[in-house]
Structure 1
Amino acid sequence: MITVSAYEIPEPGRMHLVQRSFPELAPEDLLVRVHRVGVCATDLHLLDGDLGVAYPLIPGHEFVGEIAAIGSAAARRRGLRDGDRVAVEMLLPCHNCDQCRRGRYNLCELDDRSVAAAGRQYGINIPAHTPPGLWGGYSEYVFAPQEALVHWIPDNLSWDRASLVEPLAVAFRAVDRAGVGPGDSVVVIGPGPIGLLTVAAARARGAGTAVITGTRQSRLDVAVRMGADASINVRSVDAFAAVKELLPKGADVVIETAGQASAQEESVHFVRRGGVVVLAGACGSRVPITFHQDEDILLNEIDIRGSFLSAGGFEPAIELLSSSELHFEELITHHYGFADVPLALSHVRDREQGVLKAVINTTTGGSHG
Structure 2
Amino acid sequence: MNGIELELTASGVESRKNVGKELASVQIRSAYMKSPWECMLRKIDLPDQIPDKHVLIRVEACGICGTDLSNAEENMDDWQPFGHEIAGVVEKLGSHCEGLQVGDTVVLESAGFCGTCDLCRNGRVDLCNKAPHFWNAGPSMGFSDYMFAPACGVVRYDGLTPDAASLAEPAGVAYDMVKTADIQHGDRVCIIGPGPIGLMAIPIALRSGADKVVCVGRTRNHARLEAAAKLGAQVVASDRSIVEHAELHRQFDRVLVTAPVQMIPEAISLLAYGGIMSYIGIGSGSGMIQFDANDFHYRKLQLRASFASPALYYPIVLKMLKNGTIPADLIISHRMPLADIEKAMTLCKEDKGKTVKVVITP
Shorter-normalised TM-score: what interval? 0.7 to 0.9
Say whether the 8 Å CA contact 1:35–1:361 is kept in structure 2.
yes
| Most deviating of 276-285 and 350-359 | 350-359
Quote the offset at 1:13 in angstroms. 4.9
Tell me how far apart the structure 2 counterparts of residues 334 and 44 of structure 1 sit (CA, whole Å). 16
Quote the offset at 1:243 in angstroms. 2.7
Say whether the 8 Å CA contact 1:168–1:201 is kept in structure 2.
no
Aligned to 1:243: 248
Aligned to 1:281: 281
RMSD: 2.6
The answer to whether structure 1 residue 192 and structure 2 residue 195 are counterparts is yes
Say whether the 8 Å CA contact 1:23–1:132 is kept in structure 2.
no
Aligned to 1:65: 88
Quote the offset at 1:218 in angstroms. 3.3
> Taking structure 2 as the reference length, what is the TM-score of the superposition?
0.83
Tell me how far apart the structure 2 counterparts of residues 192 and 29 of structure 1 sit (CA, whole Å). 33
Letter of the 1:9 partner, please give it. M
Aligned to 1:21: 46
Say whether the 8 Å CA contact 1:347–1:353 is kept in structure 2.
no
Aligned to 1:137: 142
Deviations 1:115-155 (A, max 9, x none): xxxxx7655xx4xxxx6323x21111121125x4221112x
Letter of the 1:304 partner, please give it. L
Tell me how far apart the structure 1 counterparts of residues 122 and 83 of structure 2 sit (CA, whole Å). 28
Structure 2: segments with no counterpart, 5+ residues: 1-15, 17-25
Tell me how far apart the structure 2 counterparts of residues 149 and 205 of structure 1 sit (CA, whole Å). 27
Say whether the 8 Å CA contact 2:112–2:133 is kept in structure 1.
yes
Q: Which has the higher strand share?
A: 2
Say whether the 8 Å CA contact 2:134–2:150 is kept in structure 1.
no
Quote the offset at 1:281 in angstroms. 1.2
Tell me how far apart the structure 1 counterparts of residues 77 and 112 of structure 2 sit (CA, whole Å). 17
Aligned to 2:8: none
Aligned to 2:223: 218
How many residues in Structure 1 have an aligned counterpart in Structure 2? 333
Letter of the 2:279 partner, please give it. L
Aligned to 1:253: 254
| Most deviating of 310-319 and 249-258 | 310-319
The answer to whether structure 1 residue 5 and structure 2 residue 29 are counterparts is yes
Instruction: Report SS of the residue matched to 1:9.
Output: strand
> Taking structure 1 as the reference length, what is the TM-score of the superposition?
0.81
Aligned to 2:316: 316
Aligned to 1:117: none
Tell me how far apart the structure 1 counterparts of residues 292 and 189 of structure 2 sit (CA, whole Å). 22
Say whether the 8 Å CA contact 1:60–1:122 is kept in structure 2.
no
The answer to whether structure 1 residue 165 and structure 2 residue 168 are counterparts is yes
Aligned to 1:152: 156
Structure 1: segments with no counterpart, 5+ residues: 112-119, 363-369
Quote the offset at 1:280 in angstroms. 1.2
Say whether the 8 Å CA contact 2:111–2:129 is kept in structure 1.
no
Q: Percent identity?
A: 28
Change over 3 Å in CA distance of 1:27–1:178 after alignment to 2: same
Change over 3 Å in CA distance of 1:205–1:284 after alignment to 2: same
Quote the offset at 1:327 in angstroms. 3.3
Tell me how far apart the structure 1 counterparts of residues 109 and 312 of structure 2 sit (CA, whole Å). 10
Tell me how far apart the structure 1 counterparts of residues 130 and 95 of structure 2 sit (CA, whole Å). 27
Say whether the 8 Å CA contact 2:261–2:289 is kept in structure 1.
no
After TM superposition, list the pairs within 5 Å mapping 1:33-112 onto structure 2.
33-48=58-73, 50-51=74-75, 55-71=78-94, 73-74=96-97, 76=98, 79-102=99-122, 105=125, 107-108=127-128
Change over 3 Å in CA distance of 1:11–1:174 after alignment to 2: closer
Aligned to 1:354: 354
Instruction: Report SS of the residue matched to 1:227.
Output: coil
Tell me how far apart the structure 2 counterparts of residues 354 and 105 of structure 1 sit (CA, whole Å). 38
| Most deviating of 298-307 and 56-65 | 56-65
Aligned to 2:5: none
